[in-house]
Structure 1
Amino acid sequence: MLSFLLRMGIVFFSLLATGNAVSKDSVSEFHVATLDGKAFLNVYVSMPRKERVSAGTKIPVIVVVPGTKATADLYFNPLAPNFEQDEDGMLGLGSKLLANGIAIVRFDTRGTVSGRRCMHGKTRALNFSEFVTDCWNNPARKTVDFESLRQDIVTVYQLAMTLPDIDEKRMGVLAYSEGLLHVANVTGRALIHPRFIAAIGGPAESPYKAGERQMCAFIPDLLAEHFSKNMTTLNVSEMAAVAQKRNWKGQDVVDLFGAKSEIDANDMILAKEKLVTNFTNNLKVYSDVPRHAVFSETRDGINRVESSAGYMKDFFIEKTAFVEPLSELSGFAGPVEIFYGDNDQRLNVPINVGILEKEKLKNKHIHFNVYPHLGHGLEQENQETIPENVANQIVKKFHWFLSN
């Protein structure tokens, strides 16, 4: 207990020393020490205006957990030409939560800095050197594995409980993508006690299965869909365009098929075999290297730590790799609500829905929704916003969960 109080004292000091309230948009920014003392987390607290909260009433809060290497500005990419997207960090969902009197606590994953906050006023996309210098923290990224990600969720959740005017009995968690893996774990271990858990694009599959599907089958299967339209070949530009929509670099797909200007069904089979071979080789590397090793990307002499070997081991090699997240919630009595878009760029939605259908037989609190024509983050194509009717439905559910 003493060590817990001392650590919370450090957190309080961080809040008092670095908090910088911005009344215009009701956002405060804090730097909070991690449990292991190896990094600081950037935490952003958005509070609803007083007129949106009944007098004398404490405020409910949603703690938002980002996905893989993501930040509180979930879909803001400082390297992309359209970096001005995602106004509230939640594709428009955040402003609706605030309008309904719900506070929001968001944070950057360890070693990353939210897109807008590392721009330093620039009105153009950053180059790679600027990005690594201002938006990335290589030493902190080296410390990331599944347990550190989970510790960080607990740290932010405990911080949210201490905020003035927050109702610690009315707290929910919204996880994006991979974040569901870690939220399910810390909830199942009773390290946090949310009223409900929700996820957008959250995998029901184990990390290993989800990763294997992304690396080995997703693009070949996607491209194969185009052959169903009585087409016998695809040209390079068509391949690149399809891949770009699914967050693959067009050049990666071109490289996959070599110098061919067109591909046929046999080329698809060979490409899939090549991807499976690459995946198998990667597994051997993940297995052989020590946990403290790192995997990096270098451009123009600038090095960026992509991930630690420990993280990759946890994703593909260790016991954690084979755990379906919702299996960890057998003792959780609150609602679990997962939202998918049927145009998801990263998950196989029918397979994940099948898993959820089976889980529902064991846990009546699990529910899911699949929205047509929306992507991994429920975004509309080429608009980078959640449709208003979908956002309203989500906020209505959250409001009900927090009120009952």
Structure 2
Amino acid sequence: MKNYILLCCALLIFSVAVKAQEKAAFTADTVSFNSPDGKITFAGILTRPKTIKNAPAVVIVSGSYQQDRDGTMAGHPLFKQIADYLSANGIAVLRLDDRGTGKTTGVYQTATTEDFADDALTAIRFLKEIKGIDQKRIGLLGHSEGGAAAAIAAAKSKDVAYIVSIAGLATSGYESLIRQNEDLVNGSQQTEVDKKRSNEINGMMFKVAYKYAKSDSLESVLNKTYADWKLKDDAYFKTLNIQYDHFRFPVYSYVKTATGPWYRYFVRYNAAETLKKVHVPILALNGGKDLMVNAESNLANWQNYSAAGGNRKVKTVLLSGLNHLFLPCQTCTLAEYRTINADFSVRALDIITRWVQTM
């Protein structure tokens, strides 16, 4: 026991020393710059190693939903943790407030995944003007949907030197919606009957959204699809001899989302065609317990879709026991995120750091 206490104390002292060293090893500066058309002002933090004169750099590309520069999700400032670790180990990192968030202007709700890709390219152009950054070694680090945005950016521009995907999407939008929602439903506390009903109506609505994504009639067709299903489902439920029906499909909010520009673009996003056009090195990491972006299928797609375009410079890593935020988990549901007392996986950070340093 005495040795155990001494070991804990030693580890604590070591941890404090490492954090102090990391804090002293890099600078953190508030930055801002404009989009090419001058309509959006981007704001964020640029962290840079102090002792490296020509450092490689990454731009963090966030996933779905508005996020601040620190990538604060369920109380975890993930992007700040990533930036501090990488910059303490020789890599410059630019992390930004999303459009319409924090000190970045613009409107998030009308933007698409391709718009986010263009924002990432604007950030790279900004970094190319910064002294101490190696212009030929600026890459994108995309989380979740940010992985798709990074791929779109790399397919459009030679300014992207490499891609790091963390739980990044390498599946077409329609397929990812089906898989993500089935994983969430099947991992939920719903009854088996309600899981079946959820998966059925979700699948029907996603299929309609895909088919009519470019049509003005999308809203009316979605509402009709739900109304027709509801009649049949009500009749089905009556046969179950269950007193109360606790199942609810949020039809109003779904239709509102599905008819917006982001969803119309995303549901038609073709990952295979995009990745065929990406010819830069790719590092893709996924947590094995991720319910939002399935690890096995997306890691396979990063490799296979890229190889179809002749790019075999792809490394994939499956990290067991981690969720979508690269945190250790038990149930791994969204509700558990806020209760987890841990930071972004150090193992993942070490893999990313070593890989980027070879670029």
Q: Which residue of 2 aligns with 1:244?
A: none
**Is it true that 1:144 corresponds to 2:111 in the alignment?**
yes
- For the Cα contact (< 8 Å) 1:335–1:366, is it kept in 2? yes
Please list, as runs of the form range in 1=range in 2, the aligned pairs for 1:9-20 lying within 5 A after superposition: none
TM-score using structure 1 length = 0.62
| Aligned 8 A contact 1:27 1:44 in 2 | yes
Equivalent residue number for residue 260 of structure 2: 309
Aligned to 1:276: 203
Letter in 1 for 2:321: H
CA distance in 1, matches of 2:216, 2:101: 24
Report the AA paired with residue 27 of structure 2: S
Task: Give CA-to-partner distance per residue, 1:66-89, whole Å, 9 cap, x none.
Answer: 112343545414xx6xx3x32xx4
Moved more, 139-148 or 23-32: 23-32
Paired position in structure 1 for 2:173? 207
Q: Which of residues 329, 347, 358 in structure 1 aligns to 2:304?
A: 358
- 1:169 corresponding residue in structure 2: 136
Question: Aligned pairs, how many?
Answer: 288
- Going from structure 1 to structure 2, the CA distance change for 1:188 and 1:211 (only over 3 Å counts) comes to same
Unaligned runs of 5+ in 2: 1-23, 219-255, 330-339
Q: 2:348 maps to which residue? A: 390
Q: Which amino acid aligns with 1:386?
A: F
Residues 32 and 43 in structure 1, CA contact (< 8 A), matched pair in contact too: no
Change (3 A) 1:361 1:62: closer
SS, match of residue 355 in structure 1: helix
2:29 maps to 28
What SS does the aligned partner of 2:149 have?
A: helix
Q: For the structure 1 residues 61 and 40, does the alpha-carbon distance in structure 2 shift closer, same or farther, using more than 3 Å as the test?
A: same
Q: 1:190 aligns with which of 145, 157, 164?
A: 157
Unaligned runs of 5+ in 1: 1-22, 115-135, 224-238, 240-256, 258-262, 292-304
| Structure 1 counterpart of 2:44 | 43
TM-score of the superposed pair, with normalisation by structure 2: 0.70
In structure 1, what is the equivalent of residue 122 of structure 2?
Answer: 155
Q: CA deviation at 1:343?
A: 0.7
Following the alignment from structure 1 to structure 2, what is the Cα–Cα distance between the partners of residues 49 and 306? Answer: 45
RMSD: 3.2
For 2:92, give the aligned amino acid: A
Confirm or deny: 8 A CA contact 1:360 1:367 kept in the other structure.
Answer: no
Aligned to 2:82: 93
1:184 corresponds to which letter in structure 2? A
Shift of 1:198: 0.9
How far apart in 1 are the matches of 2:47 and 2:119?
Answer: 19
Q: Percent identity?
A: 20
The answer for the alignment partner of 2:315 in structure 1 is 367
Is the Cα contact below 8 Å between 2:30 and 2:46 reproduced in 1?
Answer: yes
Supply the AA of the counterpart residue of 2:67: T
Q: Secondary structure at the match of 2:45?
A: strand
- Give, in whole Å, the separation in 2 of the partners of 1:392 and 1:178: 22
